[in-house]
Amino acid sequence: MAFHSNLLPDSFRKCMEPETRKEMKTPTTDEAVAKAAAGEELKMHNQFEAWCRLNNLPFIHSRTDRKSTIQAGHPDFTVFAGGRVAFIEFKTEAGKLSQEQVNRIAILMDAGCPCYVPTDLGSAIEFTKQALRLRS
């Protein structure tokens, strides 16, 4: 009979070294949820980027597969149109802003820049249309 590490209770998994959990492909519940949430956020990024391209909107998008080289906490998307700008920071329902993100968004909003933290694609698109005064 083979041993299946996915049958280990979460309390055992939490006691294991992260490298061991990764090698055994047996993440903790929190790690599995975080991975799934990252996948959902990436899907929203890809869909929003496609919408921007479809609507010929210039944008800056922070890559999700590498450590950022821009200012810490800067939103995921900076979108431009007609001399206006909108900042979008996607989060899943379970996602939380880091302190750097909270600080950066506060700075941008204090400068009069519209910022939004959507948890779904539709509201991100609607916010962007309004912020950039785009026709539907």
Chain segment 69-125, per-residue pLDDT in tens:
888 899 999 999 999 999 999 998 888 999 999 999 999 999 999 999 999 999 999
Higher pLDDT, 15 or 29: 15
Question: Could you tell me the pTM of the whole model?
Answer: 0.76
Number of domains in the chain: 1
Which residues 6+ apart lie within 8 Å of 26 measured at CB? Answer: 5, 6, 8, 13, 16
Query: Residue 54 falls within a domain, yes or no?
Result: yes
* CATH at residue 74: 3.40.1350.10
- The per-residue pLDDT for 115 is 98
Domain extent, residue 19, equals: 10-131
Number of alpha carbons in the 13 Å side-chain half-sphere of residue 102: 5
Q: Residue 8's pLDDT is what?
A: 74
- Which helix (H) or strand (E) covers residue 32, if one does? helix 29-54
Residue 64 lies in a domain: yes
